[in-house]
Amino acid sequence: MVVLLVALVLWFVGSGDDGPPNGSAGAGASSPAPSITPGPTPSGSAITSRPGGRDESPGEETGGGGTGTSSGAGTGGGEGTGGSAGSGSGSGSQDGSSAGTSSGTGGDSGRRVAAGSPLPNCAPAALELALSSAKVSYGPDEKPEFRITAKNTSAATCKADLGPLAVVLTVSDDADDEVWSSKQCPRGPRTAWLSVPAGGTVTHTVAWDRRYSTEQCDKPSTRSASPGTYLVEAAAPGQKVLRASITLAKD
């Protein structure tokens, strides 16, 4: 056995001395080749991937940003449209207010104001009053209507009371007997304050039910005026007496 082992060792040593010059080089050339050859392939793939990734990434980010911007612009446009619609609604609200202010009610052509309105009272010298009748002759079933017109000759808007106690209307028959007076037991409001624009006019209309008036307000008169001609007068402080004539027809 010892001899056999020694022989094997000597053979191995002998084989090692002959192998390196050729076998080692061959093995070295072929053995690393499998490990080196795959190396360039992954390395090449990695290099290709990296530059490609950098080129595409900025492109994708830019594209994404552009998309985002476009979306934002679209949203902004929608909001702008909504604001415009709101503005239109505001204009409608103004037109309704104006229409409501320009219309008069209750037989007045002017705008009613409260007695405590900050508007100054019209000075008697600044007002020009006029009296007229809606018709010259009235049928049996018609109620005479009297119009009191006030003109403001001043340069500033003021308010005037054309109510039954401030501008007293009286109706007298052809015998000069008083038939009716607006200051005796007025049925409606006792004042009628109207805003009179500078240089403008307003009109207050009063209807007469053809009945006699009485100072006893708790016992209203049931007597009605007979057909005939009647004198209508309007009296106000600081104003001259105004007159008009009407006829109550028989039929």
Q: What is the pLDDT of residues 56-70, one digit of tens each?
A: 333 333 333 334 343
Which tokens go with 22?
């050729």
Which tokens go with 21?
């010059």
**pLDDT band, residue 13 (cuts 50/70/90):** low
Would the pLDDT of 53 be above 60? no
Give the separation between CA 75 and CA 199, rounded to whole angstroms: 54
Q: What is the pLDDT of residues 104-128, one digit of tens each?
A: 233 678 899 999 999 999 999 999 9
Structural domain spans, the chain: 111-248
Burial pattern 85-97, b for ≥16 Cβ within 10 A else e, equals eeeeeeeeeeeee
Give the separation between CA 164 and CA 213, rounded to whole angstroms: 13
Answer with the residue of higher pLDDT: 119 or 37: 119
Would the pLDDT of 16 be above 70? no
Residues 111-248, CATH architecture: Sandwich (2.60)
Residue % of the chain over a pLDDT of 70: 57
Give the separation between CA 120 and CA 198, rounded to whole angstroms: 12
User: Exposed, middle or buried: residue 150 (CB in 10 Å: 0-12, 13-18, 19+)?
Assistant: buried
Q: What is the structure's pLDDT at 7?
A: 61
What average pLDDT does range 98-108 have in this prediction? Answer: 38
Would the pLDDT of 139 be above 70? yes
What average pLDDT does range 145-155 have in this prediction? Answer: 97
Q: What is the pLDDT of residues 160-203, one digit of tens each?
A: 999 999 999 999 999 999 999 999 999 889 999 999 999 999 99
Answer with the residue of higher pLDDT: 57 or 18: 18
What average pLDDT does range 214-232 have in this prediction? Answer: 93
